[in-house]
Amino acid sequence: MAPHAHQHQNQHQNQHHHASGHEGPHDEPFVAELLDLEAEVLHAHLTEVTGRLADLTADRPVRRILDLGSGTGTGTFALLRRFEDAEAIAVDASPRLLHHLRGRARELGVADRVRTVEADLDAAWPDFGNIDLVWASGALHHMSDPDRTLREAYAALAPGGLLAVIEMAGVPYFLPHDLGVGRPGLEARCRAALSDRHAEAMPHRGADWGPLLSRAGFTVEAEWPYAVELVPPLPEATGRYARAVLSRMRTALDGRADTDDLATLDTLIDSDGPHSVLHRDDLAVRTERTVWAARRAYWSTGSQA
């Protein structure tokens, strides 16, 4: 990679960035922890996804990867493991998450293969050069104008390059219907109470990305929904991951759920006590995700952006 590989390039396009879905900068250490725990718990699924991308790129070497809304680098590091000759550019609006990512890159011994760029992907993009693989996991639904983001992604790709979009149906379910504390069905009620808020803040959450990809000029080569269903024995980090997700949910539910349910949630996210998710042996991880793999035409040379 170029000599400036280790440098943090501040290419922030405008001061009013809107990494929507975050409560604000004070929330970012917490988000970093949550994203890292998610990476650990869902590691095997991610490995499966990158394996399928390797099949789809078998005829075209992947040397330059662009991770959109990289967060703490879950996708970046999974891709660098899979594509051993590749370098990655991790882009995010959050300087703190990118700082965290650079620390992880050093720990993993791949700092010389990663460059971070702080940029608002809702604004005009910096020039990333020709990219072979663009990865956008859990990122597109944050964009205020995803059509525009997809056109930029198309323009950033080399002819024949691939875009992988991963979106999830929502945060995972962890708990059994009957918790042995509070009223049964707590998790379902919490999701229902938050769904309006999510729909308002992120209207593209749960979108069918196929038509949007086609509209931006891509050929959708594969679309595969997959269900994550982890049951005991669970990865070691599962309790902490559940606690991070439910704590975030608890904050968002203030004033939106009845006091009994809030009290039950408090009991679950408490670090002590028999009902704490850190100690329960009846947790599971259930969620659904969809991956879209879309190609920029081989013969296309012009930009669609």
Ligand X SMILES: C[S@@+](CC[C@H](N)C(=O)[O-])C[C@H]1O[C@@H](n2cnc3c(N)ncnc32)[C@H](O)[C@@H]1O
What residues line the site for ligand X (CB under 6 A)? 18-20, 35, 69-71, 74-75, 92-94, 97, 120-122, 137-139, 142
User: What angle is formed at CA 148 by the lines to CA 144 and CA 154, rounded to 5 degrees?
Assistant: 135
**Residue 142: CB minimum distance to ligand X, A:** 4
**Residue 243: CB minimum distance to ligand X, A:** 18
**Residue 238: CB minimum distance to ligand X, A:** 17
Strand 131-137 and strand 114-118: the pairing is unpaired
**Residue 35: CB minimum distance to ligand X, A:** 4
**Residue 185: CB minimum distance to ligand X, A:** 26
Q: Report the distance separating Cα 171 and Cα 151, nearest Å.
A: 28
Identify whether the C-beta of residue 35 lies closer than 8 Å to the C-beta of residue 71. Answer: yes
Q: 174-198: string of b/e by CB count within 10 Å (b at 16+)?
A: bbeeebeebeeebbeebeebbeeeb
Identify whether the C-beta of residue 46 lies closer than 8 Å to the C-beta of residue 78. Answer: yes
**Residue 65: CB minimum distance to ligand X, A:** 13
The tokens describing 254, both together, are 């203030």
- Cβ-based nearer residue to ligand X, 93 or 244: 93
- Cβ-based nearer residue to ligand X, 75 or 172: 75
- Cβ-based nearer residue to ligand X, 50 or 70: 70
- Cβ-based nearer residue to ligand X, 94 or 238: 94
- Cβ-based nearer residue to ligand X, 94 or 264: 94
The tokens describing 50, both together, are 């990158």
Q: Report the distance separating Cα 109 and Cα 37, nearest Å.
A: 20
The tokens describing 107, both together, are 């720990």
**Residue 71: CB minimum distance to ligand X, A:** 3
- Cβ-based nearer residue to ligand X, 69 or 239: 69
Q: 43-65: string of b/e by CB count within 10 Å (b at 16+)?
A: eebbeebbeebeebbeebebebb
Identify whether the C-beta of residue 261 lies closer than 8 Å to the C-beta of residue 187. Answer: no
What are the residues whose beta carbons fall under 8 Å from the beta carbon of 205, sequence distance 6 or more? 141, 167, 170, 198, 199
- Cβ-based nearer residue to ligand X, 64 or 142: 142
The edge-to-edge listing of strands for the beta sheet with 114-118 is 8-10, 114-118, 87-92, 64-68, 131-137, 157-168, 285-295, 219-230
**Residue 150: CB minimum distance to ligand X, A:** 14
- Cβ-based nearer residue to ligand X, 95 or 185: 95
- Looking at residue 90, its amino acid is A
